[in-house]
Amino acid sequence: MQGTGDIIRKAWKAGIVVPAFNVPYFPMVEPVARAVVDLDSFALIETARLEWFKFEAGGPAAVMAEFLKWNDPAHVRIHLDHVPVVDEDGLRTNYLSIIKEAIDLGYQSVMVDGSRLSLEANIAATQQVVELAHAAGIPCEAELGAVLGHEAGPLPPYEELFASGKGFTDAEEAARFVRETGCDWLSVAIGNVHGAVSGALRDRKKIAARLDLAHLDRLNQATGLPLVLHGGSGLEREAVLAAVQRGIAKVNVGTEIRQAYERTLKESGSVASAQDAVYERTSWLIKDYFGVAGTSELLSVPETEKTR
C-alpha cells in the first residue's frame, strides 16, 4: 500500500489538494468516510488532542476504533492532528507519549505542534517526533507560526492581525526549520485562523479570514515541501485554490462540518439526521468547494501500477 506521505507529495506536485476532516464526535466518522468514497476522492480523517477534552472524541484509541469500522485505504487514511507541546490553555502536555501511542495504534501520519515555543525549542521538539514517526515509516507534520483561534477568549481585531502579519510564518525561519527537523509537511500561518472551540464562541460564525498569497509564495520557495493550511473552513474558494497552486497540499476542515453536526443534532435530536448533514456538507466540500471528486486513483495508486 502506498504511504500517506507519498500521496501528499503526489498531490503537492500535481497541484491537487487533500482535504483533512476533523471529527470531534464519533458519529461524524462514518458520513465523512462515506462521502469521500462515494465521490471517489481521497481525504484524511483526523483527530486533535483538544477534541478529546473540549468535545467527545475520547482519545486516539477510541477514534482509531471507530475509523477502522469504515476504513478504505484507497480513499481515507487516519491522521493524528494537533498534538501541542504547549496547549491552547498554556499548559505543557505529554506530547511524546500521545504520539507514541498513536503510532503504536497504527495512525498513518502524525502532527506535533510546537508553534507556541521558541524557534529553537520547536525545532528540538519536532526533531524528536520526526525521529519517532520515520522509525515507524510514517510522515510527520509540524507547525511554524501562529494559527490562532483555539485560545480562550476573542481574537484581536482580524484586520489588525492581517495587516501587521503578526504570527505569520517567517520564510527564513521556515527554511531553517524544515532543514533541521526533517519534517514532511509544514503547517503555515498566512492569515488563516482556526474556528473557535471555547465556550459560546464555538457556535458563532467563523471569522472571514484571508490568505496572503504573496507570502505563501515565499514560504513555498523557502521550504520545498508540502505545506498545510489549517483553519480551512470559511475561506473564499478562489483563495484556497490559488493557495493549492502555491504549495498547499493539505487543507484542514473542522468548523464547517462540526457546526453542521451540532446544529442539526440540536434542532432535530436525531444523530442520524446530524450524520446526514455531515455527509451533505462533506460532499459539497469535496465536489464543489475543493473540486477533488474522482481523484482517488490519481493519488492513491503507485505510479508503477498506473502504467501497467
Distance of CA 139 to the CA centre of its chain: 13
pLDDT in the model for residue 203? 57
pLDDT in the model for residue 167? 78
Name beta bridge partners: 177: none
Record the cell numbers describing residue 26, joined without a space.
Answer: 464519533
Record the cell numbers describing residue 241, joined without a space.
Answer: 485554490
Give CA–CA dist 168/73, Å, rounded. 34
| Residue (of 237, 181, 178, 188) closest to 216 by Cα position | 188
Give CA–CA dist 239/248, Å, rounded. 11
> What phi and psi, each to the nearest 5 degrees, are found at residue 55?
-130, -140
pLDDT in the model for residue 13? 95
The residue from 81, 113, 170, 212 that is catalytic is 81
> What phi and psi, each to the nearest 5 degrees, are found at residue 253?
-130, 125
Domain at 4-306: CATH code: 3.20.20.70
pLDDT in the model for residue 206? 46
pLDDT in the model for residue 146? 77
pLDDT in the model for residue 304? 42
pLDDT (tens place) for every residue of the chain, 308 residues total: 799 999 999 999 999 999 999 999 999 999 999 999 999 999 999 999 999 988 888 999 999 999 999 999 999 999 999 999 998 888 999 999 999 999 999 999 999 999 999 999 999 999 999 999 999 999 999 999 877 655 555 666 666 676 566 778 999 999 999 999 999 999 999 987 755 544 544 455 545 577 999 999 999 999 999 999 998 777 889 999 999 999 999 999 998 999 999 999 999 999 999 999 999 999 999 999 999 999 998 887 664 433 22
pLDDT in the model for residue 233? 77
Domain ranges in the chain are 4-306
Give CA–CA dist 264/278, Å, rounded. 9
| Residue (of 295, 230, 305, 307) closest to 10 by Cα position | 295
Give catalytic status of residue 81 as yes or no.
Answer: yes
pTM of the prediction? 0.89
pLDDT in the model for residue 143? 96
pLDDT in the model for residue 53? 86
